[in-house]
Structure 1
Amino acid sequence: MVLPNANPTKSYWIEAAESPLRVFRSTVDLPKETDVVIVGSGYTGAATAYWLHRFTEKNDSLPRMLMLEARDICGGATGRNGGQLRPHAYSRYPKWSGLFGPDEALNLIKHEMAHLPAFRELLDHEGIAEEVCFRLGETFDAAMTEKAWARLKNAYMTMQRDHGEDGDVIRDCRLIDNPEVAEEFTQMKSCIGAVVHPAGQVWPYKFVHALLRIVSQKGNLNLQAETPVLEVSERDADGWITVKTPRGDVQTKAVVHATNRWASHLLSDFSSLIFGCRESLASIKAPEGFIKHTGAQHWDHIVNNYHLQLPSPYNTIILGGGKSVIVHNPRNSILNDNEDRQFDGLPEFYQSWPASDVAHWPGKDPAELGRQLDEGGVWSGIESSSIDGFPFVGAVPHHDGHFIAAGFTGHGMPRILLSAAHITPLILSSLGIEFTPPALVAPYPPLPKPFHLTSDRIERLQKLDAKAKYEADMKDALESAKEPFCNTERSRPKMLR
């Protein structure tokens, strides 16, 4: 049995939000039965609950939903990620085109890009855009080495070659190949060039808590914090699935597995398909409006940093990556679930970043953390790692009444909302509940083929040597660790200095 760590490091997102739903329980006792149990209270679970509500609100057929969370509400990956709603607008195009062809690669990109207007429409409809610090704008990939610039520029040019300068997506992207202009736009010192494209940002924890509040107020969602699911059964002859918890058992007609990295805890089919990977972020105090755009710095295909700045009154920079430190000991990250620990050397690295990397930084050196170190100043989180790089979305083969959206590989923000919209009609159909898709989902592209969960995909991926894949990932990290940009004074953990 694998469950999340009981005492994770504290995240700025969670501590600063001070949400009343943090350890919320709708009722003292668990209900004996319900229509749907959603396991997990992060972005996937909340989006699924929201869509189940929206799909049925006009039909007077609202399903009874029970959401069970092992720890605090949204205390996992969504409460610990980077907050960037940042599609892969071009950067994965060569790889995806090589795997699936130009058209399917473009479909994958369009699905991610569609999350920008989808977020805008949903948040405007619910009137919570300001509450969750949502903004749309431009983001950048800043090349910090010639190697990185060659890779980024090639991805952009390959997509442009295949789909033309006026293609649906490529026309919204642009190259900045003048170093002076690139540095001015990105605010990153020593930036060689950059690719710019549309993106957004959001306070992910507040977003999830807002959705759960909205659905709970409709009266058909029972929310239960600190209630780990220990086991789920198959459907019995009467159509019931038994969900076992330390607080008692619940009978349900459907189970939604919204646990991302932890999916294999309840579904052994995924034990060699979805793994954990520990990452880290920090909060840095900054002058109001100082960072103009979200963005990422790239030195090679592994080593990067990424950041955004929250609006007033928070003004805090959320900074992640730190890969120039992490690659020296990749076992601290890859196949590692120890989110109760800090990475050696990363707090100091993060505090040195503004003065070292940001042009015209007016603040202190080292920078002040947004909160005390162990109170949300620097934190760890566990992202999922899918063996083929794509999530598993759909009805679980050979497990009647079980549905899943998991394995988002650290890139869930521009994938989960519409993936949850895909599984919602599958769930409702299995329950025999009438539904009407809301207008919000109508204009957006269907789920990309590589996301679909099928028996063939599971059987094919289970034959892969998962151990070899992750050993290769560790080897790649150690190769990056030899590079000069990973051997500056601030990038080498103390034990290696």
Structure 2
Amino acid sequence: MVLPISNPTKSFWIEEASSALRDFRSTKDLPKETDYTENDAQKPRILMLEARDICGSATGRNGGQLRPHAYSRYPAWSARFGPDGAMGLIKHEMAHLLAFQDLLAEEDIAEEVCFRLGETFDAAMSDEAWARLKGAYEAMKKDHGQDNEVVRVCRLIEDTKAAEEFTQMKACLGAVVHPAGQVWPYKFVHALLRIVLKAGNLNLQAHTPAESVSERDDSGWITVKTGRRDVRTKTVVHATNRWASHLLPEFGNLIFGSRATLASIKAPEGFIKHTGAQHWDSIVNNYHLQLPPPYNSIIVGGARSLLVHSPQDCSPNDEEDKQFDGASEFFQSWPELDVVGWPGNYPAELAKNVDEGGCWSGVESMSIDAFPFVGDIPNRDGHFVTAGFSGHGMPRILLSTAHITPLILDALNIKYTAPSLVAPYPPLPKPFQATAERISSLQKINSAAIFEKNSKDCLESAKKPFCNKLPGRPKS
């Protein structure tokens, strides 16, 4: 049985938000049953169980960037799915920018969740990185032409001085720029939950892990067992990401835990102009954004030049109750060493004490084929899944949910009209679909060999000069 640990490191996102929903329980006792019944007047009842505090896992611990893979994965995706398949995946991610904007405007919570659209960059910090980043953009442009809607909004900055000025990254050789956004992910989820709770058909229960789920019985009921009581339901949605295999053993070789680290750094108001990432090779990177007033903190993550020296501490690994050795020192050195124009009289300090949310670790999922599993679960009537987002859920989950919701309502025989907000957006990409064929084929993969190769690749990066200036710092 695999469940998240009970005492993870404290995340800035969670601690600073101080949400009233953190340990919320709608009712003292769990209901005996949930879902739509004939007496509910077509109003389904929803029971949401959280193993720990509400949104206390990956979404409450991630980087906050709403950052599509606008071009960087194009060569790999094109090799697997062809040029059109790769572009379809990119457009699905890019569509999340307007989807977030529309949803947050509709619910009037954009300012509350610190939402902003703008441009992001991939900064090449080595010749190796520049060849890879520029090559990915050029490959997409060659296949789809300059007038393609995605190619049109991406651009290269090839002049070193201009790249350094735009990215604010010292020693940047060049950059690829494209549209992106940022959001306070924890506040976003809590705001939506608050709205749904007010509507009256959600029962939200913190600290209530599901211990097991049954198959549907002859009467159409599924039993969810918890330590508090058993609950009967007609449908179950496994929105459990890394933890899917706890209740779904068939995902045991498909989704794993991968531990990462981030920090929150004090910064002058409005200092960082764009979200972005630094790249030294295909593994070693940092990424960052700055929050608006009154917070002003820079959220910075990655630290891969440090972490590649001990790959076993990252994947597969669920130890989010532990800090990475040297991580807080690494992040506090980052502004002065890497950021152009960092004021010499402004101390590069954590926004909170190390163990109070200033620096934290978190477990993201790692899908065996790098794509999530979304849809109805084969051979499990009434069960649905949305999991395995591989640290890239921000530009994938919202519209994946738009796909899965009608499946659930259809399973309950509930009449509905799809909201106009979801109409313009592309369908769920085929590589996301949780088909029996996909699951069966992936179960045959030697996952141990994949982790062994990943470890070897990390250790090869660890030998490179940019990973060997103590304490694991890239050369600036």
* TM-score computed with the length of structure 1 as normaliser: 0.94
Change (3 A) 1:363 1:66: farther
8 Å CA contact 1:286–1:363 kept in 2: the answer is no
Partner of 2:18: 18
Q: CA deviation at 1:490?
A: 2.3
* Residues paired across the two proteins, number: 471
2:358 corresponds to 1:401? no
User: SS of the residue aligned with 1:283?
Assistant: strand
8 Å CA contact 1:112–1:415 kept in 2: the answer is yes
Partner of 1:128: 109
2:396 corresponds to 1:415? yes
Q: CA deviation at 1:62?
A: 2.3
2:185 corresponds to 1:204? yes
Q: Distance in 2 between matches of 1:273 and 1:363?
A: 48
Q: CA deviation at 1:435?
A: 1.0
2:41 corresponds to 1:63? no
Q: Distance in 1 between matches of 2:114 and 2:44?
A: 30
Partner of 1:266: 247
2:163 corresponds to 1:182? yes
Runs of 4+ residues deviating >2 angstroms: 59-62, 363-366
Q: Distance in 1 between matches of 2:436 and 2:452?
A: 27
User: SS of the residue aligned with 2:363?
Assistant: strand
| CA offset digits 1:116-174 (Å, max 9, x no partner) | 00000000000000000000000000000000000000000000000001101010000
Unaligned runs of 5+ in 1: 37-58
8 Å CA contact 2:335–2:348 kept in 1: the answer is yes
Q: CA deviation at 1:363?
A: 5.4
2:149 corresponds to 1:162? no
Q: CA deviation at 1:362?
A: 1.1
Deviates more, 1:364-373 or 1:288-297: 364-373
Q: Distance in 1 between matches of 2:66 and 2:22?
A: 23
8 Å CA contact 2:330–2:473 kept in 1: the answer is no
**What amino acid is the match of 1:351?**
Q
2:431 corresponds to 1:450? yes
Aligned counterpart in structure 1 of residue 175 of structure 2, from 190, 194, 197:
194
Q: CA deviation at 1:367?
A: 1.2
Change (3 A) 1:73 1:488: same
Q: CA deviation at 1:61?
A: 2.2
Q: CA deviation at 1:492?
A: 6.7
2:203 corresponds to 1:229? no
Partner of 1:173: 154
Aligned counterpart in structure 2 of residue 429 of structure 1, from 397, 410, 420:
410
User: SS of the residue aligned with 1:196?
Assistant: strand
Pairing of 1:59-138 with structure 2 (within 5 A): 61-138=42-119
| CA offset digits 1:71-120 (Å, max 9, x no partner) | 10000000000000000000000000000000010000000000000000
Partner of 2:30: 30
Partner of 2:9: 9
| CA offset digits 1:153-200 (Å, max 9, x no partner) | 000000000000110101000000000000000000000000000000
| CA offset digits 1:428-453 (Å, max 9, x no partner) | 11111111110010000000110011
8 Å CA contact 2:466–2:473 kept in 1: the answer is no
**What amino acid is the match of 2:63?**
G
Partner of 1:239: 220
2:307 corresponds to 1:326? yes
User: SS of the residue aligned with 1:197?
Assistant: strand
Q: CA deviation at 1:60?
A: 6.2
Q: Distance in 2 between matches of 1:481 and 1:274?
A: 26
Q: CA deviation at 1:454?
A: 0.5
Superposed CA RMSD in Å reads 1.2
Q: Distance in 1 between matches of 2:54 and 2:367?
A: 24
| CA offset digits 1:233-268 (Å, max 9, x no partner) | 000000000001111100000000001000000000
Aligned counterpart in structure 1 of residue 464 of structure 2, from 483, 486, 496:
483
8 Å CA contact 1:26–1:224 kept in 2: the answer is yes
Q: Distance in 2 between matches of 1:60 and 1:347?
A: 54
Partner of 1:386: 367
Change (3 A) 1:364 1:263: farther
User: SS of the residue aligned with 2:210?
Assistant: coil
Q: CA deviation at 1:366?
A: 5.9
8 Å CA contact 1:352–1:366 kept in 2: the answer is no
Aligned counterpart in structure 2 of residue 355 of structure 1, from 320, 327, 336:
336
8 Å CA contact 1:355–1:365 kept in 2: the answer is no
User: SS of the residue aligned with 1:34?
Assistant: coil
Partner of 1:468: 449
| CA offset digits 1:15-34 (Å, max 9, x no partner) | 00000000000000000000
8 Å CA contact 2:215–2:381 kept in 1: the answer is yes
Change (3 A) 1:274 1:105: same
Q: Distance in 2 between matches of 1:22 and 1:452?
A: 32
Q: Distance in 1 between matches of 2:226 and 2:270?
A: 46
User: SS of the residue aligned with 1:101?
Assistant: helix
Q: Distance in 2 between matches of 1:485 and 1:10?
A: 30
Q: Distance in 2 between matches of 1:115 and 1:62?
A: 28
Change (3 A) 1:348 1:478: same
Q: CA deviation at 1:387?
A: 0.3
User: SS of the residue aligned with 2:42?
Assistant: coil
| CA offset digits 1:256-291 (Å, max 9, x no partner) | 000100000000010000000000000000000000
* TM-score computed with the length of structure 2 as normaliser: 0.98
